[in-house]
Amino acid sequence: MKFCYEITGGDFSAGGSASSQVKKTLKQFNIAPQVLRRIAVALYEAEMNVVAHAWRGSMCVNINVDHLSVVVEDEGPGIEDIDRAMEEGFSTATEEVRQMGFGAGMGLPNIRKNSDEMELTSTPGIGTRLTLTIRF
Amino acid sequence: MKQMNVQQLNQLIPGTILLEGHASTLYTKAFASDLMSDVLRFQMEQTVLVTGLCTIQVLRTAEMSNITCIIFARGKRVSPDMLALAEEHHITLIESALTLFEISGRLYQGGLEPVYR
Ligand SMILES: Nc1ncnc2c1ncn2[C@@H]1O[C@H](COP(=O)(O)OP(=O)(O)O)[C@@H](O)[C@H]1O
Ligand SMILES: [Mg+2]
């Protein structure tokens, strides 16, 4: 079962609505609450990265028998140094992003912690692609 | 471990309960932060969030991490959007004029625990 949602860069009031939809959908399945929380947290941080750092993007989730696969793709400035971006505390977030309670450089490390597999690729000037696998 | 419902924990402050979500939840822990990325790093079940940040993202963060009670410090006023989202997800909202520090102190003295030691 596959669902896709659009994400708009800079739209902080709508930020999180895609993750919210996915969480709502997954609640209908028999998934352990801890796993559901890990999924929700990882998706939300990924969605907020598109809102905070990119122009526009999408989140597609594929619900399989024993795992969820996720692709979050965006058009945006991309990431020059992926290893650096993955470090705790590294952030290029603007003051506006900080005022929303994000921008401490904890998002990507937390996404990694909450997922079983994570792959982040990016082309500077074009965009970024994040794929995640979380087992139920 | 000390457990308290919304009414009991609000008596420690006391603030204005704007909305009562999960009335039956018993809280054992509290976490105070203005940084939502930090909130998202911990297990938040049965935890009260105390924050000076008053934006829609606080509600989204609560929704994602299963937080069912938020106390807004320093007299911050909840917007209608925030209230609507809280209603949808059965999240209790409390407003207080006290600082984050004083609310945290009162909850700690009342027996709530930190999320880790
Ligand atoms: N989708 C994205 N597009 C462009 N840059 C990104 C994206 N996601 C993350 N980054 C870069 O990686 C850094 C670290 O991301 P993260 O750990 O989520 O922290 P934060 O979002 O709080 O800055 C960001 O500050 C930004 O420079
Ligand atoms: Mg981030």
Residue nearest to atom 27 of ligand 1 (CA): A92
List of chain A residues whose C-beta atoms are within 8 Å of the C-beta of residue B37? 45, 101-104, 106-107, 110
pLDDT given at position B57: 96
pLDDT given at position B22: 83
Residue B85 in this model has a pLDDT that exceeds 90:
yes
Query: What's the total number of domains in chain A?
Result: 1
Q: What is the ipTM for the molecules in this complex?
A: 0.95
Q: Exposed/middle/buried for B61, CB within 10 Å: 0-12, 13-18, 19+?
A: buried
Q: Is residue B84 part of a domain?
A: yes
Residue B7 in this model has a pLDDT that exceeds 90:
yes
Q: Is residue B77 part of a domain?
A: yes
Give percent of chain A with pLDDT exceeding 70: 100
Query: What's the total number of domains in chain B?
Result: 1
| Residue type for position B26 | L
Residue nearest to atom 21 of ligand 1 (CA): A103
Prediction pTM value: 0.97
Give pLDDT tens digits for A3-16: 999 999 999 999 99
Q: Is residue B90 part of a domain?
A: yes
Distance A39 CA to ligand 1 centre (A): 19
Mean pLDDT calculated for residue range B4-31: 95
Evaluate: CB of A127 within 6 angstroms of ligand 1.
no
Evaluate: CB of A93 within 6 angstroms of ligand 1.
yes
Kindly report the CATH number assigned to the domain that includes residue A75: 3.30.565.10
Helix (H) / strand (E) containing A86: helix A82-86
- Residue by residue, DSSP assigns B67-83 as --EEEE-TTPPPPHHHH
Give the domain range for residue A124. Answer: 2-135
User: Contact at 8 Å (CB) between A91 and A103?
Assistant: yes
Q: Is residue B1 part of a domain?
A: no
pLDDT given at position B32: 98
Instruction: Give the confidence band of B23 by pLDDT, cuts at 50, 70, 90.
Output: confident
Give the domain range for residue B62. Answer: 6-114
Instruction: Give the confidence band of B105 by pLDDT, cuts at 50, 70, 90.
Output: very high
Kindly report the CATH number assigned to the domain that includes residue B51: 3.40.1390.20
Q: What is the CA radius of gyration of chain B?
A: 12
